[in-house]
């Protein structure tokens, strides 16, 4: 077809998500890996880093210098919350479109970065979750809540996860709350004899966080009505499951200007 490849840089390339992104980019004929950055690894071939044949792109540890030298179209970033805002601003400064899987942005950060993207005439994306299945689960839950407002969320993660409830369950709760008036569920005389037994309270309903070894990521949204229940559940088994979403994001971010918050905006 003679179509120009999208040049991609990966920040946090030696991390668990970063390695999956490197593999995904190398496997897609429409994408070209031009840079891989990581603070803890350098002078290693990015292909070799992810267990593939050498690809000729060496991992570097200077983000800005690498962006200047390789001139990518898009930077995919799975680094740390501490560096998320700085990395995004650096990418925009050099007219590289940021696709951020890293968390740690305040609403004020997102607004400022949106202005910077628009001024540079480029698109950007900040996405707490790239799993297409998880996004669909949230959208379906919000749709169901219009008709079945009695709901509880149960989310399961490994025991090393630091935050509870998960970002995905909070985002789901926000989407449900937008379409459902606050409704205090259950018996008004209900009493917890063990504190926390009913889970965390959000806008009239409950979120329960399970933390156990052997679990990767799973969420269930349970709706109850007279004589029936509806369960919408999503299970993640592997980080590779997020890569189709990252792939869509890399291609979509080339088509607009401004910073989009949330991958769900890319799914109609």
What would the pLDDT profile of 146-193 be if each residue is shown by its tens digit? 999 999 999 999 998 878 898 889 889 989 999 998 888 888 899 999
C-beta separation of 78 from 11 below 8 A: yes
Same domain, 161 and 256: no
Residue of 239 and 225 predicted with greater confidence: 225
Same domain, 116 and 141: no
Same domain, 42 and 59: yes
Does the structure show a pLDDT above 80 at 268?
no
Same domain, 115 and 137: no
Q: What residues are labeled active site? A: 157, 161
- Structure confidence at residue 167 (pLDDT): 82
What is the C-alpha to C-alpha distance for residues 153 and 141, in angstroms, rounded to an integer?
Answer: 10
Same domain, 58 and 107: yes
Same domain, 148 and 222: yes
Does residue 1 lie within any of the structural domains? no
Annotate the chain with three-state secondary structure: CCCCCEEEEEECCCCHHHHHHHHHHHHCCCEEEEEEECCCCCCCEHHHHCCCCCCCCEEECCHHHHHHHHCCCEEEECCCHHHHHHHHHHHHHCCCEEEECCCCCCHHHHHHHHHHHHHHCCEEEECCCCCHHHHHHHHHHHHHHCCCCCEEEEEEECCCCCCCCCHHHHHHHHHHHHHCCCCCCCCCCCCCCCCCCCCEEECCEEEEEEECCCCCEEEEEEEEECCEEEEEEEEECCHHHHHHHHHHHHHHHHHCCEEEECHHHHCC
Domain that holds residue 76: 6-126+240-266
Tokens, residue 233: 């559940």
Same domain, 14 and 138: no
pLDDT band of residue 2 (cuts 50, 70, 90) is low
Number of domains making up the chain:
2
- Structure confidence at residue 103 (pLDDT): 77
Same domain, 10 and 121: yes
Same domain, 247 and 117: yes
Same domain, 11 and 116: yes
**pLDDT tens-digit map of 78-118:** 998 889 999 999 999 999 999 999 877 888 999 999 999 99
- Structure confidence at residue 107 (pLDDT): 86
Same domain, 42 and 84: yes
Same domain, 208 and 145: yes
Tally the residues of the chain. 268
Does the structure show a pLDDT above 80 at 246?
yes
Mean predicted lDDT score pLDDT of the chain: 93
- Using N-to-C axis directions, what is the helix angle for 132-145 and 243-252, rounded to 10°? 90
CATH of the domain at 31: 3.40.50.720
């Amino acid at each position: 077809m003679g179509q120009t490849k999208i040049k991609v840089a990966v920040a946090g390339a030696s991390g668990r998500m970063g390695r999956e992104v490197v593999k995904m980019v190398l496997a897609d004929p429409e994408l070209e890996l031009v840079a891989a950055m990581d603070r803890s690894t350098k002078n290693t071939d990015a292909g070799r880093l992810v267990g593939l044949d050498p690809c000729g792109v060496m991992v570097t540890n200077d983000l800005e210098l690498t962006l200047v030298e390789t001139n990518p179209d898009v930077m995919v970033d799975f680094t740390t919350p501490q560096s998320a805002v700085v990395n995004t601003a650096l990418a925009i400064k050099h007219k590289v479109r940021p696709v951020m899987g890293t968390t740690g942005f305040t609403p004020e950060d997102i607004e400022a970065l949106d202005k910077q993207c628009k001024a540079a005439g480029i698109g950007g994306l900040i996405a707490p979750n790239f799993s297409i299945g998880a996004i669909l689960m949230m959208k379906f839950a919000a749709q169901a809540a219009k008709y079945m407002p009695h709901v509880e969320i149960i989310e399961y993660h490994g025991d090393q996860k630091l935050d509870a409830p998960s970002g995905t369950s909070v985002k789901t709760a926000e989407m449900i709350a937008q379409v459902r008036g606050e409704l205090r569920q259950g018996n008004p005389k209900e009493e917890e004899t063990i504190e926390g037994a009913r889970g965390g309270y959000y806008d009239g309903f409950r979120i329960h966080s399970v933390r156990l070894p052997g679990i990767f990521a799973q969420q269930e949204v349970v709706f109850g009505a007279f004589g029936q229940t509806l369960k919408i559940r999503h299970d993640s088994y592997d980080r590779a499951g997020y890569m189709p979403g990252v792939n869509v994001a890399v291609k979509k971010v080339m088509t607009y200007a401004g910073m989009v918050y949330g991958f769900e905006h890319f799914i109609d």
